[in-house]
């Protein structure tokens, strides 16, 4: 069985990580799939998806801050839109990931959460979720 759903995410600022773990958990639970995989895809070139610590919100801020230091917006890029830094940052976090499903629940470590990563907001974004299994 395959379930497909679209999530809408509104980002409040240019660069931010937004936890979407609970939304993904709900989709998986409602799918009634006991064993399988959950695929998450972000169809944007200046946003992405990652798994990281969700116990301390400072981790998300640290990721945004460090990426900003590593790839500053003010660098001399050839791309004329002024958002090349966002394209590079989204390449680092990536557009998709997979999470295992066991006993109708996503499998994550104790401190892990699923984060939508925005690098060129604020915007209205889409996240596609596919749940596949038995």
* pLDDT, tens digit (0-9, with 9 covering 90-100), for 64-93: 999 999 999 987 888 978 899 999 999 999
CA 26 vs CA 32, 124, 131: distances in Å: 10, 21, 11
Task: For residue 88, give its domain range.
Answer: 2-133
Mean pLDDT of 106-130: 98
Model pLDDT, residue 76:
84
Please name the helix (run of DSSP H) or strand (run of DSSP E) that holds residue 21, with its range, or none: helix 21-31
Name the E strands within the chain. 2-10, 16-19, 35-41, 47-53, 96-102, 105-106, 112-118, 124-133
- Alpha helices (H) in 32-110, listed in sequence order: 58-70, 84-93
Find the CATH number of the domain harbouring 49: 2.60.120.460
**What's the domain count of the chain?**
1
Write out pLDDT tens, residues 19-47.
Answer: 999 999 999 999 999 999 999 999 999 99
Distance CA 5, CA 131 (A): 9
């Amino acid at each position: 069985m395959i379930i497909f759903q679209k999530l809408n995410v509104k980002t409040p600022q240019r660069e931010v990580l937004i936890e979407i773990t609970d939304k993904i958990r709900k989709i998986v639970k409602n799918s009634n799939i006991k064993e399988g995989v959950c695929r998450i895809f972000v169809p944007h070139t200046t946003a992405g998806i990652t798994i990281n610590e969700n116990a301390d919100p400072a981790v998300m801020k640290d990721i945004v801050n460090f990426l900003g230091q590593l790839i500053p917006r003010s660098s001399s890029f050839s791309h004329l839109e002024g958002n090349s830094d966002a394209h590079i940052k989204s390449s680092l976090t990536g557009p998709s990931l997979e999470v295992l499903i066991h006993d109708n629940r996503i499998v994550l470590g104790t401190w892990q959460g699923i984060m939508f990563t925005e690098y060129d907001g604020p915007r209205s974004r889409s996240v596609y979720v596919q749940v596949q299994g038995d």
